[in-house]
Amino acid sequence: PYSKLLDLKDQTCQCVCHCINEVFKNVFITAEKRFCNLIQSLKFNYLKCITKILQDRIEKETINISLPASQIIKTK
């Protein structure tokens, strides 16, 4: 679509507007796809972080449960 903008000097206003709209439509579609991919990536990374935090927390709690009461009090 970008090449169409280079060949517009002998075209009517209607054709020029149509070509410009087509270019912008393609730009927005591409931007929207990239934005959606970015959001999906951020969601995935966020879920990975939350999962890791929860796993670490569960491991700590499991370790604390197996410690004698006197050591649990010292660690908190």
pTM, to two decimals:
0.44
| pLDDT tens readout for residues 11-35 | 777 777 887 888 888 888 888 888 8
Q: Which residue has the higher pLDDT, 64 or 43?
A: 43
Q: Where are the domains of the chain?
A: 2-75
Alpha carbons 39 and 20: distance in angstroms, whole number: 28
